[in-house]
Structure 1
Amino acid sequence: MMHFKLIVVMSRTDLTDRIVDAAKAAGATGATVVPGRGTGIHEARTFFGLTLDIQRDISFMLVEEHLTPGILAAIHEGGNFASPGTGIAFALRVDEVAGLESQIPRFKEELEALAKDATPTS
């Protein structure tokens, strides 16, 4: 049985391409990116008394559960998340999925390879 996680990334717009590229290099098959705006623990910037919204991109990646730690690590590094204000990422458990039929053969191959690698040899 295959298990999936949804990785959600909220990041500065100028970091999105680097983040998605890093995630794909770590095993993600793609991402959906939507524009957003956000606030943080610090006051919003103002200009002549007008509040400026902080533009963000929100990226969604549906990934196989076993790939999640490596992809999150790649996102953290690619987005320079150790620096304040660059972004955050987290993963949510996904209970049901529809529409991945075209990717099922690849998923099965990866699971079989993992099972083979985990089998002890005598």
Structure 2
Amino acid sequence: MNYLTDFDVIFTIVERGKGETIIKATHEAGAEGATLFFGRGTGIHEHRKILGIPIEPEKEIVITLIEKEKSDAILEAIVRAGKLDEPGRGRAFVISVDKMVGAFHLEQKGQAG
């Protein structure tokens, strides 16, 4: 089996409603796709209550799988679009991907290792 190598995955966690902004920024920076799903969680900047009951803010998580050489540019675009350099706006982190399968359009470009 041929595995694709030299990829990163960027996880971006933002408040609900901001995920599409992140996806648009990643596309403009060179990403070919993204996956968005929903979650709940709190950070040190989120202590909301309604009638004295703590509320867990809803989040959107964007997963962007990209070639390593595009990683810095796409991460910078995410930071700008999500204003992640401001407190309480969200987080993004990059994880190295050792092997990947299923991106047939990339295999056809001859990137399989």
Q: TM-score, normalised by structure 1?
A: 0.81
The yes-or-no answer on 1:90 pairing with 2:89 is no
Tell me which stretches of 4 or more aligned residues in structure 1 moved more than 4 Å: none
Distance 2:81 2:96 in 1: 23
Q: Deviations over 1:41-92 (max 9, x none)?
A: 2452111121111111011111000000000000000111122211111110
The yes-or-no answer on 1:37 pairing with 2:40 is yes
**Fraction of identical pairs, as percent:** 33
Partner of 1:115: none
User: Larger relative contact order (C-alpha < 8 A, sep ≥ 6)?
Assistant: 2
> One-letter code of the match for 2:54?
T
The yes-or-no answer on 1:72 pairing with 2:95 is no
Partner of 2:52: 49
> One-letter code of the match for 2:65?
L
Aligned positions, number:
108
Largest Rg, 1 or 2 = 1
> Which blocks of at least 5 consecutive residues in structure 1 are unaligned?
109-122
Tell me: CA distance 1:86–1:43, structure 2 relative to 1, closer, same or farther (3 Å).
closer
Distance 1:54 1:107 in 2: 43
Structure with higher helix content: 1
> One-letter code of the match for 2:105?
S
Distance 1:14 1:107 in 2: 37
Distance 1:105 1:25 in 2: 23
